[in-house]
Amino acid sequence: MGLPVIENRKARHEYEILETYEVGIVLLGTEVKSIRMGKFSLAEAFANVHNGELFLINAHVDEYAQGNIFNHAVRRERKLLAHRREITEMEEAISRKGLTLIPLKAYFKGDVLKLQIAVGKGKAAHDKRQDKAKQEAQREIARALRERNR
């Protein structure tokens, strides 16, 4: 059984990705067990910098079934671990108007959970439509090539 890779599928649709970073995350024991079972959602999550520290906000980690009284809060702020230089770069980027930090995916690297976060700029509705049309055209081309090669 492979460990789950949790992706934020809406992120690439909603945002134009400018730069990505790999960061660690500080978790409680019951959170790790719950994430290993795939009970983790990045759908409405974002990252922010407070006092020179990076935090993941609004990520949903289901309670661990056998967690009893030591279970974690489902939507708590979780500290992210990155190099000081990277945190400074991220802080400068999000201080500019219209840019934000979005988690793209979470995955295990050995026994450690890593998060890929990105500096992103929100897309306008017409940009989303253009991307959708481009995707559809690529799909049609691939389909036509497959048919021709039969």
Mean pLDDT to the nearest integer, 100-124: 87
Does the pLDDT value for residue 125 go beyond 80?
A: no
Does the pLDDT value for residue 121 go beyond 90?
A: no
Residue 46 lies in a domain: yes
Does the predicted model carry a pTM greater than 0.85?
Answer: no
Domains in the chain: how many in total?
A: 1
67 lies in which domain range? 6-122
Give 46's strand partners. Answer: 57
Query: pLDDT by residue (tens digit) across 16-45?
Result: 888 899 999 888 777 787 778 777 778 888
| d(C-alpha 28, C-alpha 32), whole Å | 7
Sequence-distant (6+) residues with CB within 8 A of 58 are 44, 45, 46, 75
Residue 64 lies in a domain: yes
- Could you give the C-alpha distances from 119 to 8, 12, 67, 77, 102, in angstroms and in order? 14, 11, 34, 19, 6
Query: pLDDT by residue (tens digit) across 44-99?
Result: 888 888 888 889 888 877 776 666 666 666 677 888 998 999 998 888 888 888 78
Residue 66 lies in a domain: yes
Residue 146 lies in a domain: no
Residue 91 lies in a domain: yes
Residue 90 lies in a domain: yes
Q: Which domain CATH number covers 44?
A: 2.40.280.10
Does the pLDDT value for residue 123 go beyond 80?
A: no
At residue 84, the pLDDT reads: 92
Instruction: Give the CA radius of gyration of the chain.
Output: 18
Residue 149 lies in a domain: no
Residue 22 lies in a domain: yes
At residue 85, the pLDDT reads: 93
